[in-house]
Chain A
Amino acid sequence: MPMLRGFLILVLFFLFGEALRLLFLVPVSGGVLGMICMTLTLMMNGSVSEPLATASQGLISVLVLLIMPGVVGVFFTADQFQGQWLAVAMALLAGTFLSVLTTLVLMKWLVRGSGRGPAND
């Protein structure tokens, strides 16, 4: 029961996000809008209720399960993208390598910079 109560809250926030998206024609999914509203609400409340924490942990831990029906589709729609696979593979491999490098270098440089600031003076 408590978990279902938490689930109800999540569904309500999702529906609220969808309503915002449709009413104001925002180009962002209802789930994301619901998530932003959820974070803001929690920041105002200052705490997470037990049912909500349980329900969200449960759903997040099965995220991989929920995306599987979609992931599987790539095997069955492969013909559609003939001749594009080199571009896709290079974009994923080289692109991800570069973005990981960017993130690590940038964070390392900025964290060191901020660390030397007030902490050492």
Chain B
Amino acid sequence: MTERLLSLVETLSDGPALAIGLTLGAFFAGNWVFARIGRPLWLPPVVLAAVLLSATIAVLPLDYTRYQLGAQWLTVLLGPATVALGIPLYQQMHHIRALWRPILCTLPVAATLAAVYAVVIAWALGATPEVLASLAPKSVTAPIAIGITEQLGGSVPLMMGGLLITGVVATLFVDLLAGLLPVEDERILGFALGLNGHAVGTARAFEISHTAGAFASLGMGLTGVFTALILPLVFHL
């Protein structure tokens, strides 16, 4: 019976349904646990879901490469999802007009430094070129960052892990520094959340207010486009 059970997973993992089912299941489980433990800022649902999913894959007789092969059916949607980010960008055009000068001055400096700080620190501590290329797009939203890392010759799994941690700590640092500096303007807080913490920061910004959320989407979108255009050019020099 155990043997048959093992070969069952083997057979089921031939198609994409098992991988998709596991991913969806972990996604909802992560959200459920998150609500259950009182929505802590430092442990967002995506981290919970990723840990749950990894544990499940490790326990099942299913190796990661097989899982990833099946889950590609989901990953394919990242392309159209990136295009979809153009819609909120358009919808928030009136926000850009109101604050276009500070945004236009801050964006190139802050988005460049977000990559430069990380790469310089990692380089000083002896990281390999592959690791540097995986860390460079750490403040860029995932669908765009995947393209960047692939072009720079980095590791996509490492980049994704770094991306997630960046999103979480950016959220914590914005909260901390908003009190210390102090910054009360929701537009500035939102913009900083989206620029540094991409989707995770944007989710947090929508909890602060709708304005903060709009500015976070804007910061996330602009940082994505700017970094995607600049980083591959700079890295090849």
- Chain A: residues with CB nearer than 8 A to chain B? 7, 10-11, 13-14, 17-18, 27-32, 34-39, 42-43, 48, 52-53, 55-57, 59-60, 62-77, 80-81, 84, 86-88, 90-108, 110-111, 113-114
Contacts and interface: CB of A to CB of B under 8 A. Distances in A.
B12 interface: no
A37 B172 CA distance: 34
8 smallest beta-carbon distances between A and B, as pairs: A29-B147, A73-B157, A31-B82, A74-B161, A38-B86, A95-B118, A69-B71, A56-B84
Contacts of A74: 157-158, 160-161
A47 to B, nearest CB: 9
A42 B150 CA distance: 29
A41 B53 CA distance: 39
B181 to A, nearest CB: 6
Majority SS at the chain A contact face: helix
B214 interface: no
Contact of B90 (A7, A48, A64): A48
B75 interface: yes
Contact of B196 (A30, A35, A71, A103): A103
B195 A34 contact: no
Contacts of B88: 56, 60
A62 B91 CA distance: 19
Given A69-B71, A88-B158, A108 B79 contact: no
